Amino acid sequence: MPAGEKNMDAMEVILTRRSIRKYVDKPIDDDILKKLINAGVSAPSAGNQQPWHFVVIDDQNIFDEILQFHPNAKMLKQCQKAILICSDLNLEKFKGYWILDCSAATQNILLAAHAMGIGSCWLGIYPRVERMKGIQKIFSMPENIIPFSLIALGYPDEKHGTVDRYEENRIHHNKW
């Protein structure tokens, strides 16, 4: 967390996290990356199957390759690091639940990053076939590994205000 910032409680982290697409040129320590991945592996998973693998990326050449097939990845030009979340189908106990498991791991990393003063942006990979194939090729992944999401990381060079997304007309009690 940057010097001078206060600790946020869980609700504040959840309610104030936003996608950050602009970053300052400041390195992210490996210790922070380890904490972020620890947050990811602490996510709930169906039957505790934990089907995930994580790839830490800090090579601009790899970011440039991803930009060739991912139209929404422009922030990779500025980010310091990224974490690729993948599923290993060989670890799947409950068919299809890897998607939920990797989603939970992704969200945990996003929230942990925000709590530590790191900006992040979730880049969807799955289910876009061209993105999945591009990532699989770059990293020479075996067929049982499915790339799910990519999280760009960096110290923020932009701020977003809190948005109230609570809509009473979308809340239902005991029936529709």
Please give the Cα distance from 115 to 35 (Å, whole number): 11
Under 8 Å between Cβ of 63 and 135: no
Largest CA distance in the chain: 52
Segments in the chain below pLDDT 50: 1-4
Domain 16-158 in CATH 3.40.50.300? The answer is no
Domain ranges of the chain: 16-158
Do residues 23 and 155 lie in contact, with contact meaning Cβ atoms separated by under 8 Å? yes
Query: Which pLDDT score is estimated for 1?
Result: 46
**119 phi and psi angles, rounded to 5 deg:** -80, 150
pTM over 0.85: yes
> Helix or strand or coil: residue 22?
coil
